[in-house]
Chains A and B, each alone.
Chain A
Amino acid sequence: MNQQTQVSVEKEKIDFKAFSMHILKSYGMLLILIGLVILMSILTPYFVTTNNLLNIVLQMSVIGIVAIGVTFIIITAGIDLSSGSVIALTSVIVASLAHPNSVPLFVAILAALGVGLLTGIVNGSIIAYGNIAPFIVTLGMMTAARGLALLYSGGRPIGGLSEAFRFIGQGNIFGIPVPIIIFTFVGLISWIILNKTKLGKAIYAIGGNEQAAIIAGINVAKVKVIVYGYAGLLSGLAGLILTSRIASGQPTAGTMYELDAIAASVIGGTSLSGGIGTVGGAIIGALIIGVMNNGLDLLNVSSYWQQILKGVIITVAVFIDVKKNKKK
């Protein structure tokens, strides 16, 4: 039998155009990141130092981890506004446990992750089984979690954290800051889940066409609970790292982080209408924000202008996304 694995491409004139469009779509944001790095290097000599570059990644680790989690959610055509508040809740809980003569460190860590996971599962369950819009449910969680954090901490920061705990956010392994190592790990595992597992395919399918996913036998409710749970878990992890870095449990931690995370995800190519997005894209999106913040800081641009610029970039990114995915 004729082994015809060599597929003949349909002879159309759009071949070259399609190829360049493909490159732009897949690597567009990476090219922009590289472009930004080059631009900043030209504008200020302090940018390209190892120290500075590592600093950028370090600063973006927390938001980057949240961005990866929220990317999973946005791919299913959902949204999560509660990440920042979950960071705060995790922060005060883990800070209250991570004292030198208190419970073992790993218990504190598990508690942090557990809190994040639980809030995510609650979100996902109400969304999937209660059939309520993700925007509303996570908005409620955002308010409730923040309230819980304030309640638990009495509105005050919690200090006195053990040295072992502070290593997580402030230590280095072989010269690389621990948060960056964790960030890399999270990126790797998330990439594997999204691209190499049944669950990952189901996530894309639900975002691509939820009704078709149901008909294809996918347990949509279960997948949604898992997705929101995972995002919650990552928010818990982010809260853990943040608390360790600033060596203090803050009920006000993570304010507005959810928006930064969503911005990073969307800039990285995730589509708010669902079915499109990548872990790599989320990371690149976070780095773009990081490079911009850092570069503009070095150039002494006021942080107010930086905020305006960030808003412009997010709008442009969403505009490009809408244009790209416009259904004929």
Chain B
Amino acid sequence: MKAMYILEMNNITKEFPGVKALQDVNLYVKEGTVHALMGENGAGKSTLMKILMGIYSPDKGTVKFKGQKLKLNSISHALKNGISMIHQELSPILHMTVAENIFVGREPTYGKTGFINHKKLVERTRKLFEKLEIDINPKAKMADLSIANMQIVEIAKAISYNSSLIIMDEPTSAITEKEVDHLFKIIRSLKKKGVAIIYITHKMEELHQIADEVTVLRDGQYIGTDLIKNITKDKLIEMMVGRELKQSFQRPEKVIKDVALSVQNLSVDGHFHDISFEVKKGEILGIAGLMGSGRSEVIETIFGVRKANSGEIFVNGKKTVINSPRDAINLGMGLLTEDRKLTGCFLPLSVMDNMVTVNIDKYTNGLGLLSKKKMKEDCLNQKKMLEIKTPHLKQIIQNLSGGNQQKVLLARWLLRDPDILFLDEPTRGIDIGAKAEIYNLIFDLAKKGKAIVVISSEMPEILGLSDRIMVMSEGYKAGELTREEASQEKIMELCTLGEKIKKSKVS
């Protein structure tokens, strides 16, 4: 008998200012099946699921659930209708107990009084865990749990809504193999009950173990759907990345000299292991990898934001110890962080104040006072060179566009004339025009002899900028490719190597 479609998403289109997140995307999920949703970072998966969970509403298209047209306007609305979600980003309420976390917002009370019935709360949690064969103390404080167990609690929470459709976004990112098997057992029993599951993952091996069908998205567009048994890994990769490289990167003549930075066996427990690489003066090294591969963490560790558990760093051949960003800066490094709002911009301050931060020592005169003239001169210079659009230097940086904010932050580092520059997702959230400008700036800097490391999740970008590409997967170095031999498919393949590497290290 043909299974019924529990979910039909038709021609979903969603636009944000400047970005078309989804265009005419379809998703049909049958009840009692596991439907995998795949695509690169930024392909539109999260946006599609957010629409399903009532967080966004689509600009065009319809959602039909259990045969009824559904217009969801909030998460609780989605939950009431039988759709729940396991989020990729865990956001546990740390100071509350496991039981409180699971039933937050719907705690059992004494009648209608509003007083929480703690006994029932713990009892319900115990019953839930028993059913799912989970061995965690409901009264334990969430903060005392390991990340793996936190994820299991998150999974239990989603299941406790007794939904007909559960979205699982990277549910195995933090748990070990044993727990993954356990999860799959739970999923199979849910399937038997007719529950449908949308499963988002980057781990190819899992697909064959648990999924029935797979839908692939790319750049916000619907690429195709197929049964898992009919599809090969190569075909999947091709569907996920097979685009024409429209942007042609003009890589000017490069003059690559000696090694500026050498990293050996760098490790931070829980984030990445045994990372070694080097960057030469005048060279651009790209670091590719999926979310959770540990790229940003590596850069942050080199820069002194995180403490390494083991490994060595050599700058210009000399072994160095970097305990704080100040040490890194004094060694000639600069870091443009991944999230400019979170760790880059001083939002309430002016453009000039944001620019002079790192180089401020050079602006003090004999008395220890700042020379406004010198600061203004340098800032105007940068403004011109980087073509920063702001009415004046006193403008509060919060009012600038993302691209211009990024340029101001870049100027902040350039004023210090670093020898080694780390750029983490330098064009994230920036329009095409500004992107091209930043690419040219990067090439220019390389020409001047700087060693540049670029982390990027955009294939065309990393292929176009890099002289060499190091690919990281789940905290390990999966491989290295030269500009000539690199391709989207090869990168993607290395990106998903993580599980295999992990297994080989354990055995």
A interface residues (Cβ-Cβ under 8 A, vs B) = 4-5, 7, 9-10, 192, 196-198, 200-202, 204-205, 207-209, 211-219, 271, 274-276, 325, 327
Ranked nearest first, the 6 interchain pairs of A and B with the lowest CB-CB distance are: A208-B346, A275-B348, A217-B329, A217-B326, A196-B369, A216-B357
Please, which residue of chain B has its CB at the minimum distance from the CB of A196?
Answer: B369
- The interface bits of chain B over 322-344 (1 if a CB of A lies within 8 angstroms of the residue's CB, else 0) are 00111011000001010000111
Given the contacts A10-B391, A215-B337, A217-B326, A208 and B370 also touching, CB distance less than 8 Å = no
Please, which residue of chain A has its CB at the minimum distance from the CB of B372?
Answer: A196
Please state if B346 and A275 are interface contacts (CB–CB under 8 Å): yes
The residues in B between 355 and 405 inclusive whose CB is less than 8 angstroms from any CB of A are 356-358, 360-361, 363-364, 368-370, 380, 384, 389, 391-392, 398
B interface residues (Cβ-Cβ under 8 A, vs A) = 303, 305, 324-326, 328-329, 335, 337, 342-349, 353, 356-358, 360-361, 363-364, 368-370, 380, 384, 389, 391-392, 398, 412
The answer for the CA separation of A9 and B395 in the assembled complex, in Å, is 11
Chain B residue numbers with a CB within 8 Å of A217 are: 324-326, 328-329, 358
- Most chain-B CB neighbours within 10 Å: which of A196, A204, A209, A275? A209
Chain B residue numbers with a CB within 8 Å of A214 are: 305, 324-325
- Most chain-B CB neighbours within 10 Å: which of A10, A197, A271? A197
Main secondary structure of the interface of B (DSSP, over half): mixed
Q: Give min CB distance, A211 to chain B, whole Å.
A: 5
Contact of A7 among B335, B392, B398, B412 (CB under 8 A): B392
The answer for the CA separation of A4 and B358 in the assembled complex, in Å, is 26
The answer for the CA separation of A219 and B330 in the assembled complex, in Å, is 13
Chain A residue numbers with a CB within 8 Å of B343 are: 209, 211-212, 215
Chain B residue numbers with a CB within 8 Å of A274 are: 348
Chain A residue numbers with a CB within 8 Å of B356 are: 201
Contact of B364 among A197, A204, A216, A275 (CB under 8 A): A197
Please state if B348 and A271 are interface contacts (CB–CB under 8 Å): yes
Please, which residue of chain B has its CB at the minimum distance from the CB of A207?
Answer: B348
Chain A residue numbers with a CB within 8 Å of B346 are: 204-205, 208-209, 212-213, 275
Q: Give min CB distance, A213 to chain B, whole Å.
A: 8
Q: Given A200-B370, A213-B346, A217-B329, 19 other A-B contacts at CB below 8 A?
A: A10-B389, A196-B370, A198-B368, A201-B370, A204-B349, A205-B349, A205-B353, A205-B357, A208-B348, A211-B342, A212-B345, A212-B346, A213-B357, A214-B324, A215-B303, A215-B305, A215-B344, A217-B326, A219-B326
Q: Give min CB distance, A226 to chain B, whole Å.
A: 14
The answer for the CA separation of A219 and B304 in the assembled complex, in Å, is 13
Please state if B412 and A198 are interface contacts (CB–CB under 8 Å): no
The answer for the CA separation of A217 and B348 in the assembled complex, in Å, is 19
Contacts A/B (CB < 8 Å), 27 sampled: A7-B391, A192-B369, A196-B370, A197-B370, A198-B360, A198-B363, A198-B364, A198-B368, A201-B353, A204-B346, A205-B357, A207-B348, A208-B345, A209-B345, A209-B347, A211-B343, A212-B346, A214-B324, A215-B305, A215-B325, A215-B337, A215-B343, A216-B325, A217-B324, A217-B329, A274-B348, A275-B349
Please state if B384 and A327 are interface contacts (CB–CB under 8 Å): no
Please state if B361 and A198 are interface contacts (CB–CB under 8 Å): yes
Chain B residue numbers with a CB within 8 Å of A7 are: 391-392
The answer for the CA separation of A234 and B359 in the assembled complex, in Å, is 30
Chain B residue numbers with a CB within 8 Å of A10 are: 389, 391
The answer for the CA separation of A176 and B481 in the assembled complex, in Å, is 77
Chain B residue numbers with a CB within 8 Å of A9 are: 391-392
Chain B residue numbers with a CB within 8 Å of A204 are: 346, 349, 353
Please state if A218 and B342 are interface contacts (CB–CB under 8 Å): no
Given the contacts A7-B391, A192-B369, A196-B369, A218 and B345 also touching, CB distance less than 8 Å = no
Q: Give min CB distance, B68 to chain A, whole Å.
A: 36
Please state if B398 and A327 are interface contacts (CB–CB under 8 Å): yes
Q: Give min CB distance, B326 to chain A, whole Å.
A: 4
Chain B residue numbers with a CB within 8 Å of A212 are: 337, 343-346
Q: Give min CB distance, B390 to chain A, whole Å.
A: 8
The answer for the CA separation of A146 and B275 in the assembled complex, in Å, is 55
Please state if A5 and B380 are interface contacts (CB–CB under 8 Å): yes
The answer for the CA separation of A116 and B348 in the assembled complex, in Å, is 31
The answer for the CA separation of A91 and B460 in the assembled complex, in Å, is 69
Please, which residue of chain A has its CB at the minimum distance from the CB of B326?
Answer: A217
The answer for the CA separation of A271 and B347 in the assembled complex, in Å, is 13
Chain A residue numbers with a CB within 8 Å of B347 are: 208-209, 275, 327
Contact of A198 among B345, B370, B384 (CB under 8 A): B370
The answer for the CA separation of A215 and B302 in the assembled complex, in Å, is 12
The answer for the CA separation of A185 and B180 in the assembled complex, in Å, is 68
- Most chain-A CB neighbours within 10 Å: which of B345, B346, B349, B368? B346
The answer for the CA separation of A200 and B361 in the assembled complex, in Å, is 13
Q: Give min CB distance, B262 to chain A, whole Å.
A: 22
Please state if A218 and B391 are interface contacts (CB–CB under 8 Å): no
Q: Give min CB distance, B214 to chain A, whole Å.
A: 38
Q: Give min CB distance, B45 to chain A, whole Å.
A: 26
Chain B residue numbers with a CB within 8 Å of A327 are: 347, 398
Chain A residue numbers with a CB within 8 Å of B335 are: 215
The answer for the CA separation of A201 and B352 in the assembled complex, in Å, is 11
Chain A residue numbers with a CB within 8 Å of B303 are: 215
Chain A residue numbers with a CB within 8 Å of B357 are: 201, 205, 213, 216, 218
Chain B residue numbers with a CB within 8 Å of A218 are: 326, 357
Chain A residue numbers with a CB within 8 Å of B364 are: 197-198
Please state if A197 and B348 are interface contacts (CB–CB under 8 Å): no
Please, which residue of chain B has its CB at the minimum distance from the CB of A216?
Answer: B357
Chain A residue numbers with a CB within 8 Å of B349 are: 204-205, 208, 275
Chain A residue numbers with a CB within 8 Å of B348 are: 207-208, 271, 274-276, 325
Please, which residue of chain B has its CB at the minimum distance from the CB of A2?
Answer: B384
Chain B residue numbers with a CB within 8 Å of A198 are: 360-361, 363-364, 368, 370
The answer for the CA separation of A204 and B353 in the assembled complex, in Å, is 9
Chain A residue numbers with a CB within 8 Å of B353 are: 201, 204-205
Q: Give min CB distance, A197 to chain B, whole Å.
A: 6
The answer for the CA separation of A275 and B380 in the assembled complex, in Å, is 23
Please, which residue of chain A has its CB at the minimum distance from the CB of B300?
Answer: A215
Chain A residue numbers with a CB within 8 Å of B412 are: 216
- Most chain-B CB neighbours within 10 Å: which of A198, A204, A211, A213? A198
The answer for the CA separation of A198 and B342 in the assembled complex, in Å, is 23
Chain B residue numbers with a CB within 8 Å of A216 are: 325, 329, 357-358, 412
The answer for the CA separation of A197 and B335 in the assembled complex, in Å, is 24
Q: Give min CB distance, B159 to chain A, whole Å.
A: 36
The answer for the CA separation of A325 and B303 in the assembled complex, in Å, is 32
Chain B residue numbers with a CB within 8 Å of A200 are: 370
Please, which residue of chain B has its CB at the minimum distance from the CB of A214?
Answer: B325
The answer for the CA separation of A105 and B164 in the assembled complex, in Å, is 82
The answer for the CA separation of A275 and B346 in the assembled complex, in Å, is 8
Q: Give min CB distance, A72 to chain B, whole Å.
A: 16
The answer for the CA separation of A201 and B369 in the assembled complex, in Å, is 11
Chain A residue numbers with a CB within 8 Å of B337 are: 212, 215
Please, which residue of chain B has its CB at the minimum distance from the CB of A273?
Answer: B348
Chain B residue numbers with a CB within 8 Å of A219 are: 326
Chain A residue numbers with a CB within 8 Å of B363 are: 198
The answer for the CA separation of A214 and B329 in the assembled complex, in Å, is 11
